[in-house]
């Protein structure tokens, strides 16, 4: 496939006049802006004015014929050049250059004709301006002379300022700045007319090929070289581009960047300057010459002018990419980069990269495709819209890319090859996951997230689906809700509602799952999830809406709505409001009070009292149901006893009133003990609770860390209660034997009945005596250790007192800084000398222990 780089349109046609002998024949052409100048074979200059529309493709608009100027003789007008800055039109005819006004075509009388000229060039790069005048350089040459003349052309005069000698007569000429590119009868060379340097280039065969010398850009010339090669030569003689191979029948060639247009008898050939390949062929018959402009190229024939306009580079590039000629497209883009705005260049480069990615995509090279899509910053909707059933998600999106020529139809692929289609789906999911949240995907985040949700739902990917809707997302609620309901993904639907802030709808959906109205096996602990969600919400109205339902279903789990909140969110609900709300839920109330007392460390008497009474209520209900001794009732009773022992904040009277008419004798005893009535407490444990182990434990617990005498008193009281009943005599013996250290032997002997034998209490007596002896021996060990410590200190004192100290005149006290004049002084272990008064024990309170000891020892010595 050839590239269409130019479009062709007829610009002007001179129709023959049947009534007259018409000799009209175009011989030369010039153009500036909307002005076209025609030089004919019979010395006529015709001015054409193009329509104001810049669209030359509109063939319905013809140029308007302006003025005509007949120069006089029948010599053809061989060359025309416009100098816009001077409003001059230079005309070469009859081997002379004349100057006309470019609008009126009237001769300029103050510019006399320049004679003996075969061709000329205007050096636009040598344009000079000053405050007084504007001028350009005109280079004239004659094929009969080896001299080239440099003229300075102004508004009202032109002067020959320099003559440059050439080694041979010129045949063709092109000029850029100070450099002349000259073709002679057998070769090309470059000549700098300011420095006088000449660079020979290469030979040519004038008899077999036309001479072509034209400018190809800044400081670059296009030449018809040997072997029918189009050669590019810089003004320093270096070739920076590969040559173009064209035909020997070449008539003319011009550069319209980035293309070279080569005119041959039957056609016009368009070559790329980037890769030197033929891109387009335009059939043309009897064409005579070419004129390159900034807008395109004009081709003139005997009576007709055709315009070739650039096909927009974007369209050319997209055409190349459509036919998978990506490298060629990149080369073209690189070639025209300097002629494009930076923004346009970047956008085109992205388009090419993305289209290359689509080629790899349809070839199944997914890894390469993903890299190209990311590099080209592909709009993810371009990819999403290719998949069946994804198009409605992008209904407002219109693709900006040209469809790849060999694109596969994914709908047909899904029906014919499910395995391959699944690979395309996996690629889509992978790509969307990569671009999600990036700059590339942020502008269409709704389409990305909605497409991902559809894919995960249809593929049954529960993990990725829930992860998507559990995090912040931009899924379309209107499009995703029906899809999730269709696939019975009600738990995920709730997550979707929640992620968009619709908390009531989310929880209502989950409640219907829990109550059995919806069937969804994807999550088995929906109720716990509801409670966990409510415990994290700060919207009080939402929590109160569903708190009753949660507690009615399970008080132990439902209360976590209030107890599992983050510490910083505890102030969301007032504690009194929660307590009021929980009055109808005894278990939940008890658990919440535990939370206040144990977790939040509440110091309010009301909370401690309510917790104790809640424990009592719970225990009594368990006893009524015959579950007083099971794990739940037993644990609650342990908690009550622990609270009664440890807390000092509850109202004793209120709790006692709640316990008094019950069978909770142990708790009654604890309350009596907290009131200081230990005798009555022990009486209750012994005669009502009838649990002797609890009575002994009470004595130990009530004594706690207090004085040992209290423990002796409590155990002695318990012993007397036992001795007061004949049935508890054996219990009294067991009490003595099990708690020997808790009794004072002398006191016990005084209260024991006289009828008891020594043998009965022998175990207690032996244990008591053994304890007494043990205490005495431990006291002896402690005395021995103290004596050893004292001996160590005496040794240290002795070592310190043996050394001699010399008191010289001028020594001062280290404390008061006064002279040491008395023979008595103190020396510390650090060698510091002080007065005895300054170093006394009372004055050294701020010193370390070693310093203090040294002072004391030395004072003793003195």
Q: How confident is the model over 736-771, as pLDDT tens digits?
A: 888 887 788 778 888 888 888 888 888 888 888 888
Q: How confident is the model at residue 280 (pLDDT cuts 50, 70, 90)?
A: very high
Q: How high is the pLDDT of residue 845?
A: 39
Q: How high is the pLDDT of residue 498?
A: 95
Separation of alpha carbons 320 and 272, rounded Å: 13
Q: Give the least confident one: 254-258, 412-416, 542-546, 703-707.
A: 703-707
- CA dist list (Å): 106 to 46, 74, 403, 537, 662: 12, 18, 56, 91, 133
Does 317 share its domain with 432?
A: yes
| Domain boundary residue, one of 245, 273, 299 | 245
Q: Which residue in the block uniquely carries the two structure tokens 């021995």?
A: 784
**Mean pLDDT highest for which of 294-298, 505-509, 714-718?**
505-509
Q: How high is the pLDDT of residue 627?
A: 63
Helix axis angle, 445-459 relative to 477-486, nearest 10°?
0
3-state DSSP helix/strand/coil % of the chain, to nearest 5: 45, 20, 35
Tell whether 453 is covered by a domain.
no
Q: Give the least confident one: 452-461, 539-548, 803-812.
A: 803-812
Classify residue 517 as exposed, middle or buried by CB count within 10 Å of its CB (0-12, 13-18, 19+): exposed
Judge whether residue 392 has pLDDT over 80. no
Separation of alpha carbons 29 and 46, rounded Å: 10
Q: Which residue in the block uniquely carries the two structure tokens 């104001």?
A: 52
Does 231 share its domain with 331?
A: no
| Domain boundary residue, one of 192, 217, 245 | 245
Q: Give the least confident one: 485-489, 661-665, 785-789.
A: 661-665
Q: How high is the pLDDT of residue 675?
A: 82
Mean predicted confidence (pLDDT) in 696-711: 77
Tell whether 469 is covered by a domain.
no
Bridge partner residues of 826 (DSSP): 834
Q: How high is the pLDDT of residue 705?
A: 54
Sheet strands (E) in 130-273: 134-141, 147-153, 158-165, 172-176, 179-183, 187-192, 198-203, 213-217, 220-225, 229-234, 244-245, 252-256, 259-263, 267-272
| Domain boundary residue, one of 443, 478, 498 | 443
Q: How many domains does the chain have?
A: 3
Q: How high is the pLDDT of residue 58?
A: 53
Mean pLDDT computed over every residue of the chain: 86
Tell whether 296 is covered by a domain.
no
- CA dist list (Å): 488 to 465, 492, 509, 514, 522: 13, 9, 12, 14, 10
Classify residue 694 as exposed, middle or buried by CB count within 10 Å of its CB (0-12, 13-18, 19+): middle
Tell whether 66 is covered by a domain.
no
- Give the structural domain span for 815: 803-861
Mean predicted confidence (pLDDT) in 347-364: 89
Judge whether residue 298 has pLDDT over 50. yes
> Do the beta carbons of residue 37 and residue 47 sit within 8 Å?
yes
Q: Which residue in the block uniquely carries the two structure tokens 């002072």?
A: 855
Judge whether residue 581 has pLDDT over 90. yes
Helix axis angle, 342-363 relative to 313-322, nearest 10°?
10
Tell whether 550 is covered by a domain.
no
Q: How high is the pLDDT of residue 120?
A: 94
Judge whether residue 57 has pLDDT over 60. no
- Supply the DSSP symbol for 595: I
Q: How confident is the model at residue 256 (pLDDT cuts 50, 70, 90)?
A: very high
Tell whether 284 is covered by a domain.
no
Cβ–Cβ contacts within 10 Å for residue 455, how many?
Answer: 21
Judge whether residue 391 has pLDDT over 80. no
Q: How high is the pLDDT of residue 859?
A: 37
Find the helix or strand (DSSP H, E) in which 80 lies: strand 77-83
Does 240 share its domain with 327?
A: no
Q: How confident is the model at residue 53 (pLDDT cuts 50, 70, 90)?
A: low
Tell whether 202 is covered by a domain.
yes
Separation of alpha carbons 809 and 825, rounded Å: 14
Q: How high is the pLDDT of residue 846?
A: 41
| Predicted TM-score of the model (pTM) | 0.66
Does 127 share its domain with 241?
A: yes
Separation of alpha carbons 735 and 760, rounded Å: 13
CA atoms within 13 A on the CB side of 737: 11
Does 349 share its domain with 430?
A: yes
Q: How confident is the model at residue 217 (pLDDT cuts 50, 70, 90)?
A: confident
Does 326 share its domain with 414?
A: yes
Find the helix or strand (DSSP H, E) in which 623 lies: helix 605-624
Bridge partner residues of 30 (DSSP): 37
Rg of the chain in Å (alpha carbons): 56
């Amino acid at each position: 496939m050839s590239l269409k780089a130019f479009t062709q349109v007829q610009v002007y046609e001179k129709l023959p006049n049947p009534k007259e002998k018409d000799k009209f024949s175009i011989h030369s052409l010039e153009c500036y802006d909307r002005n076209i100048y025609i030089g004919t074979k019979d010395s006529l200059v015709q001015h054409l004015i193009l329509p104001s529309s810049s669209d030359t493709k509109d063939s319905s608009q013809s140029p308007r014929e302006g003025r005509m100027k007949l120069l006089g003789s029948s010599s053809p007008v061989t060359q025309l050049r416009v100098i816009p800055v001077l409003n001059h039109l230079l005309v070469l005819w009859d081997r002379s250059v004349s100057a006309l006004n470019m609008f009126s075509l009237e001769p300029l009388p103050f510019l006399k004709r320049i004679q003996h000229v075969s061709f000329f060039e205007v050096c636009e790069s040598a344009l000079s301006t000053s405050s007084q005048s504007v001028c350009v350089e005109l280079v004239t040459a004659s094929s009969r002379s080896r001299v080239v003349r440099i003229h300075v052309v102004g508004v009202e005069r032109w002067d020959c300022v320099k003559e440059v000698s050439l080694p041979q007569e010129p045949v063709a000429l092109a000029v850029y700045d100070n450099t002349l590119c000259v073709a002679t009868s057998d070769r090309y060379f470059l000549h700098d007319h300011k420095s006088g340097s000449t660079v020979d280039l290469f030979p040519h065969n004038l008899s077999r090929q036309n001479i072509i010398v034209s400018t190809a850009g800044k400081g670059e010339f296009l030449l018809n070289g040997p072997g029918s090669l189009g050669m590019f030569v810089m003004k320093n003689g270096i070739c920076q581009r590969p040559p173009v191979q064209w035909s020997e029948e070449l008539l003319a060639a011009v550069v319209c960047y980035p293309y070279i247009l080569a005119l041959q008898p039957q056609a016009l050939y368009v070559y790329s300057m980037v890769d030197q390949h033929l891109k387009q062929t335009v059939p043309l018959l009897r064409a005579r010459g070419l004129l390159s402009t900034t807008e395109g190229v004009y081709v003139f024939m005997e009576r007709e002018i055709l315009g070739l306009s650039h096909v927009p580079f974007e369209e050319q590039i997209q055409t190349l990419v459509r036919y998978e000629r990506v490298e060629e497209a990149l080369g073209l883009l690189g070639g025209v980069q300097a002629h494009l705005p930076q923004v346009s260049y970047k956008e085109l480069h992205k388009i090419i990269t993305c289209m290359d990615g689509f080629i790899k995509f349809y070839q199944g090279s997914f890894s390469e495709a993903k890299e190209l899509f990311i590099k080209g910053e592909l709009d993810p909707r371009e990819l999403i819209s290719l998949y069946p059933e994804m198009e409605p998600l992008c209904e407002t999106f219109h693709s900006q890319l040209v469809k790849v020529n060999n694109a596969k139809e994914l709908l047909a692929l899904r029906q014919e090859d499910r395995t391959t289609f699944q690979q395309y789906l996996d690629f889509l999911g992978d790509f969307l996951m990569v671009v999600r949240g990036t700059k590339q995907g942020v502008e269409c985040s709704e389409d990305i997230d909605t497409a991902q949700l559809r894919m995960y739902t249809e593929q049954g990917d529960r993990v990725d689906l829930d992860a998507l809707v559990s995090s912040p997302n931009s899924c379309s609620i209107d499009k995703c809700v029906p899809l999730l309901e269709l696939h019975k993904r009600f738990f995920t639907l709730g997550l979707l509602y929640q992620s968009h802030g619709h908390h009531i709808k989310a929880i209502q959906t989950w409640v219907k799952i829990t109550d059995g109205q919806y069937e969804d096996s994807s999550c088995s602990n929906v109720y716990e999830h509801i409670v966990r969600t409510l415990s994290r919400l700060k919207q009080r109205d939402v929590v109160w809406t569903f708190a009753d339902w949660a507690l009615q279903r399970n008080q132990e789990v439902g209360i976590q709505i209030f107890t599992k909140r983050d510490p910083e969110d505890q102030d969301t609900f007032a504690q009194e409001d929660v307590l009021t709300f929980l009055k109808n839920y005894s278990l939940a109330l008890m658990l919440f009070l535990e939370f206040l007392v144990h977790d939040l460390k509440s110091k309010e008497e009301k909370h401690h009292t309510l917790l104790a009474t809640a424990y009592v209520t719970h225990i009594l209900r368990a006893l009524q149901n015959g579950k007083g001794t099971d794990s739940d009732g037993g644990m609650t009773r342990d908690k009550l006893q622990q609270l009664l022992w440890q807390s000092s904040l509850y109202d004793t009277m209120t709790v006692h009133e709640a316990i008094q008419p019950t069978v909770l004798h142990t708790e009654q005893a604890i309350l009596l003990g907290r009131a200081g009535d230990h005798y009555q407490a022990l009486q209750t444990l012994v005669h009502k609770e009838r649990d002797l182990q609890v009575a002994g434990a009470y004595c130990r617990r009530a004594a706690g860390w207090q004085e040992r005498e209290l423990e002796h008193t409590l155990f002695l009281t318990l012993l007397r209660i036992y001795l007061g009943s004949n049935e508890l005599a054996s219990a009294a013996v067991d009490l003595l034997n099990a708690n020997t250290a808790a009794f004072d032997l002398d006191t016990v002997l005084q209260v024991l009945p006289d009828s008891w034998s020594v043998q009965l209490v022998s175990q207690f007596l032996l244990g008591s005596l053994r304890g007494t002896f043990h205490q005495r021996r431990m006291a002896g060990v402690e005395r021995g250790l103290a004596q050893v410590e004292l001996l160590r200190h005496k040794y240290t004192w002795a070592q310190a007192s043996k050394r001699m100290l010399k008191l010289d005149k001028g020594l001062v006290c280290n404390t008061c800084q006064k002279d040491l004049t008395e023979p008595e002084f103190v020396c510390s272990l650090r060698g510091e000398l002080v007065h005895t008064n300054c170093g006394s024990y009372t004055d050294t309170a701020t010193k370390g222990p070693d310093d203090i000891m040294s002072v004391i020892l030395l004072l003793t010595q003195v």
